[in-house]
Structure 1
């Protein structure tokens, strides 16, 4: 607590207040400053301050030390005591359940919500082609499925489900603890019905009254065209079965699209590298590349003067857009200008002539005798 705050000021009581007045002041303030009931962003700090003040002033010896030395433990002491110790070991959930009608967690969920089966998750890998086209995949997994012998009820033939006599159908039992504040009630799931509120007089032997048994499942999953890594597909009712016929949870399929040897993906766009010659780059051309769809041929117009690494995009040849009404992303082609390594004599002469025209310095064109003989033969053959 801040050294500038006085414990009596925190509780709002006079220095001669008796124990009853201090207790009532604490309870009154606690109802308003506890973090679970106050919207004040400083509620937690204020409640800790209130807790500290009460832990000192409610103890006769610590209060005497505080009045004399300004600290609960005498000179140099801190005086702080955990509020759970003050209340006889009871947690704050139990204490504020008696204050506000529920614990700090906001109260228990309904039994029906608790009895619903758990959701399950499974990973599924598809190729980029499968993701582009959409496909149907068969997956297998293990789960708790409704018991076939009792149809998920958990009851043997002729058995009945009756109200639990211990908790009287509430699913909870209440215990009472005593503290200097008086009696404080706390609730916990009933040990006889495990929080269900009902018991079965003759449970199914196959599932031991649970209404579900281990099962190996195989189901078909529809993969939508355009699916991407990280997308979750939810299959309703194929998760873990609920207790005694309660609804099953869902199966959540986490999709992963495998890398492709030719295409790279970014969102709905596809990237592809294509080789072109020096002449094609300089003069411009039209090339054809294979698309992601079966037998798809994409015509790409390369502008004159294209440089190594330049890109050309073609609309509507990328991945399908989910919910896009049939539209697709772009195919982006990165150009890779390939320099020839095995030139014929005629090609070499043409390049030298081009270099001379451009004023470029190139290697000497002088030929050896062997080169001249080979050149003459090439000219004859040409």
Structure 2
């Protein structure tokens, strides 16, 4: 944008507002000015301003620079863009506004389905050692969580939930328009109740009657031994909170196991390079190499006459089998014969 904006004014918050207040203000303003909701001709531009303001004020470093200089990274503050999927843990813009405004809901059944919180997805990377032993990892993510002020119900003290007088409890309003093809009838979520069919006479001031607010949370996730890339863990109830106290969605954690500098994994088997000299290959040797488990040493017996690339199997020293009751795959060592480029005369004679 060409000119520097007062982002506190854009969101309608004081300059000393905390992050929770800023998030609530952003959520409220975004719902008001989004082009899919507002009929104002400048709705798109106003929405961009709200987006810019939050991208700066939600970042402590950017906010500090903006407060001091009115700029971020040497340019007019507000060059950033808020990724709504980051704020709401993977939800896209269509999902977010469907959640708040009813989306394509067309009846009581659709509204009941919509009241449940959405599932959320997050990826998590672990090392091969962590995948072998199992571990507990702490993850941080943003989600819509139950409002502590109203307990998730969306109602202030003494409030009541009543049938919406605009749609008479259906959550849907029908309009009829004339066209060259005759009368065209269309249905859309009720603007008065957001498609819910009910209204709250005194909504909770902290969540605006939603029963949920944006929060940043930390969660300990237990990773089972033997986990592999692509496996998913479903944590019940830790997704998006439901609308006005409805059931919460689940958090789906997709695992990725990082590449290892020594081992290569193939299902439950581990492959490792075993450098040996040409005399060890010719005469045979017993060697000890570190295993994947902590303080584990694996004894490998190299038979005489071993050729380059030969595989030597060690059963029970690979990766634990997921849910296998302690059983493990194989450790497979591939012989790499190191041939010296030059031999001293005595070595050549021998």
Flag whether TM exceeds 0.5 (same fold): yes
Alignment match, 2:118: 118
Deviations 1:68-111 (A, max 9, x none): xxxxxxxxxxxxxxxxxxxxxxxxxxxxxxxxxxxxx9976521
Partners of 1:244 and 1:106 in 2: how far apart? 17
More strand by proportion, 1 or 2? 2
1:252 aligns with 2:252: yes
Q: Structure 2: where are the runs of 5+ without partners?
A: 1-103
SS class of match (2:319): coil
Deviations 1:260-298 (A, max 9, x none): 111111222111001112122122333222110011121
Partners of 2:314 and 2:111 in 1: how far apart? 57
Alignment match, 1:294: 294
Alignment match, 1:226: 226
User: Which structure 2 residues correspond to residues 1-382 of structure 1 after superposition, within 5 A?
Assistant: 110-177=110-177, 185-340=185-340, 346-350=346-350
Residue pair 2:273, 2:335 contacting (<8 A) in 1 also: yes
Partners of 1:213 and 1:277 in 2: how far apart? 65
Deviations 1:16-38 (A, max 9, x none): xxxxxxxxxxxxxxxxxxxxxxx
- Cα distance, 1:303 vs structure 2: 2.6
Partners of 1:261 and 1:157 in 2: how far apart? 59
Partners of 1:243 and 1:340 in 2: how far apart? 72
Partners of 2:318 and 2:106 in 1: how far apart? 51
SS class of match (2:112): helix
- Cα distance, 1:313 vs structure 2: 1.9
Partners of 1:224 and 1:230 in 2: how far apart? 14
Alignment match, 1:37: none
SS class of match (2:255): strand
SS class of match (2:131): helix
Partners of 1:306 and 1:168 in 2: how far apart? 84
Q: Structure 1: where are the runs of 5+ without partners?
A: 1-104, 351-382
Partners of 1:185 and 1:330 in 2: how far apart? 67
Deviations 1:28-79 (A, max 9, x none): xxxxxxxxxxxxxxxxxxxxxxxxxxxxxxxxxxxxxxxxxxxxxxxxxxxx
Partners of 1:236 and 1:193 in 2: how far apart? 29
Alignment match, 1:102: none
Between stretches 215-224 and 299-308, larger displacement belongs to: 299-308
Deviations 1:167-208 (A, max 9, x none): 111111223456799766432211111111100000000111
Partners of 1:106 and 1:249 in 2: how far apart? 18
Please tell me the root mean square deviation across aligned C-alpha atoms, in Å: 2.3
